[in-house]
Amino acid sequence: MLARMLVPPLCWGCGGVARRKEPLCGGCRRLLRRLATDPVLLCGVRVWAPVAYSGPARDLVRALKFRGATAVADTMAAQIAANAPAGLLGAEAAHGAGRVPPGAGRPACRPVLVPVPLHPRRLRRRGYNQAALIADALARRAGQEVADCLARTGSAATQVGRGRAERRAGPAGSVELGAPAPDRAVLVDDVATTGATLAACAAALRVAGCVDVAALVFARTIGR
């Protein structure tokens, strides 16, 4: 308690003082570049993000992914829930949302949140899947269900450091179904660059019978 009183919360963007429970200071929040309300098409998948992957938004993604700042996931989910197109997230809220076994009595008309999977080796190293944290926080806010039904296999290499052509060719390794797929799915991730990873996830879901796949991410690379 004393440490929290003596050391104020710091902004993940600039390192300055931020309000308690706020990952960015007021100045960095104003630097977030808001994106249009309409989804874009990336590698055949409808994708929507509230902000561009630049500046403070990039700092938040890196804090969550590489610096253990798991509380940032709720901030990202709040941004998505507050601004997402109703056709992707759903206009009405359901009660008692949370993780449920895939196929367990879901209304067919409502999409189910599906986190983009993390390779088991990277999951063991990191201790959590950032996409799953965002999906769970989004489920609590928006009244959606979560089906963690995808799995990564093969190479554990990341997209970081790969050229644009390599990224567009798809993620290293492969994405497979680890549990029954929902009828409608909304993939959830922290960031979208080329959209190749989302496309690989969508392909696995469609092969399993999912009739509609879209994606919600916190940030998207401009020009994609």
Span 130-165, pLDDT tens digits:
999 999 999 999 999 999 999 998 765 554 544 555
Name beta bridge partners: 34: 51
Residues contacting 17, CB < 8 A, separation 6+: 8, 9, 10, 11, 25
- 3 state SS of 34: strand
Look up the CATH number of domain 33-220: 3.40.50
Which residue ranges make up each domain of the chain? 33-220
Percentage of the chain beyond pLDDT 70 is: 79
pLDDT band at 21 (very low <50, low <70, confident <90, very high): confident
- Amino acid present at 72: V
Query: Reduced to 3 states, what is the DSSP secondary structure of residue 59?
Result: helix
Of 15-24, 80-89, 122-131, 162-171, minimum mean pLDDT range: 162-171
Among candidates 124, 118, 126, 187, which has minimal Cα distance to 153? 118
Task: Select from 81, 113, 82, 109 the least CA-distant residue to 99.
Answer: 113
Listed residue (56, 86, 89) closest to 72, CA to CA: 56
* Total-model pTM: 0.82
Contact 96, 72 (CB under 8 A): no
Which of 59-63, 80-84, 220-224 shows the lowest per-residue confidence on average (mean pLDDT)?
220-224
Residue 171: the pLDDT is 59
Could you read off the pLDDT of 157-213 as tens digits, one per residue? 554 544 555 555 555 578 999 889 999 999 999 999 999 999 999 999 999 999 999
Q: Is residue 213 within a helix (H) or strand (E), and if so which, with residue range?
A: strand 212-220
